[in-house]
Amino acid sequence: MGTTSTRDWILHVDLDQFIAAVELLRHPELRGKPVVVGGSGDPTQPRTVAATATYEAREHGIHSGMPLRTALRRCPEAVFLPSDPPAYEAASERVMAVLREFPVRVEIWGWDEAFLGATTDNPEALAADLRQAVRARTDLDCSVGIGDNKHQAKLASGLAKPAGIYRLTSDNWAEVMYDRPTDALWGIGARISRKLAALGLHTVAQLAAADPADLASRFGPTNGPWYRYLALGKGEAEVVTTPWIARGHSRETTFPHDLTDRADLTRHLTALAEQVAHDATAAGREITLVRVKIRSTPFLTRTRQSKLPHPTTDPATITRTALAILDRHDLTRPIRLVGVSVDYTMPG
């Protein structure tokens, strides 16, 4: 696919194995080796999971979210590194600064991805220039998907990996997507895919041909027709250029051994509440709502929340609110995780 008439396009820039790539820049001697990043970097610690893994580690079946102990069993020779979010955030900011130098509209979706709105007669040439500039300025590789909308562009960048360019539009949607399972669509996960399969809808083509009214009766008036909409390759085409701003923040602790003592739990919760209050101050934001997450054995997770009467960053207020929320939790089971998350005021 080469040049075409000048028109609007959506591009999705997705940094390849981003967290691992940032670590390999700091540890070039590890290139080509199976590397797993997560937790403190100690795979023998219980209840810590992989944030990412290099392609070499993925060949052993290691993936993000996998317990580090499992990763160690699957690949004993893997190198385990601790997670370093500030380093990833700094690397991400460098990449986004490069993208903003191009004649495109940039909508950041997180550390490692952004949608771009562009008007051009050759989106592949623009994508190639973007990839080259990101590589030259940051030493990081990215894949670029090209589409008529965000849904197509997002899927296209996945088809472009690693470090490639792929165009997925209404012109080739059926050819590329129709034989794929429904969970290949962006927005349909394994659970919904299983429910669709139970109705005889196994492929994207079958979902695209499904009766919207039947889907609405099965999945609700909003979700049902939306799944078919996705199967037809439709999606949002607006790129929002307002700066990406975190709407909230969280911290949590997974305990090496289950907690049964209320005083220990209170101590950990207090420390987390004070930390998120300090984080808010450092970010120049105020807190409007506090949540407390408790995970008890065997694996039951519950969240309770309270809205604050006034926005604040006062650690005492945040802590007092968190402890009051804790009283609303069922604490009769041993506790394996506690977390505090907050919502921020939005600027403007």
Q: pLDDT digit string (tens) for 279-321?
A: 888 878 899 999 999 998 877 889 999 999 999 999 999 999 9
The pLDDT of residue 243 is 62
- CA 308 from chain center: how many Å? 28
CA–CA distance, 291 with 87 (Å, rounded to integer): 27
CB 114 within 8 A of CB 97: no
CB 225 within 8 A of CB 215: yes
Going from N- to C-terminal start, the domains of the chain cover: 1-171, 177-231, 248-344
Residue spans of the chain under pLDDT 70: 1-4, 242-246, 347-348
The token duo for 1 is 């696919």
The pLDDT of residue 84 is 87
The pLDDT of residue 71 is 96
CATH code that applies to domain 1-171:
3.30.70.270
User: How many residues does the structure list for the chain?
Assistant: 348
The token duo for 173 is 């949607």
How, if at all, do strands 142-147 and 165-168 pair?
parallel
CATH code that applies to domain 248-344:
3.30.1490.100
CB 8 within 8 A of CB 133: no
Backbone torsions φ then ψ of 253, nearest 5 degrees: -130, 130
Provide, for the chain, the percentages of residues in helix, strand and coil under a 3-state DSSP scheme, each rounded to the nearest 5.
40, 25, 35
In the Cβ-directed half-sphere of 280, how many Cα atoms lie within 13 Å? 30
Same fold, 1-171 and 177-231: no
The pLDDT of residue 169 is 97
177-231: CATH topology is DNA polymerase; domain 1 (1.10.150)
CA–CA distance, 300 with 284 (Å, rounded to integer): 34
As a whole number of angstroms, the longest Cα–Cα distance in the chain is 68
The token duo for 75 is 């690949």
The pLDDT of residue 348 is 57
CA–CA distance, 270 with 276 (Å, rounded to integer): 10
Burial of 329 (0-12, 13-18, 19+ CB in 10 A): middle
User: Which position among 113, 124, 236, 286 bears the catalytic label?
Assistant: 113
The token duo for 171 is 């012109």
Q: Is 113 a catalytic residue?
A: yes
DSSP assignments along 107-142, one per residue: EEEETTEEEEEEEES-HHHHHHHHHHHHHHHHS--E
Backbone torsions φ then ψ of 124, nearest 5 degrees: -65, -40
In the Cβ-directed half-sphere of 293, how many Cα atoms lie within 13 Å? 16
* Residue in 74, 75, 80 with CA at minimum distance from that of residue 42: 80
The pLDDT of residue 194 is 95
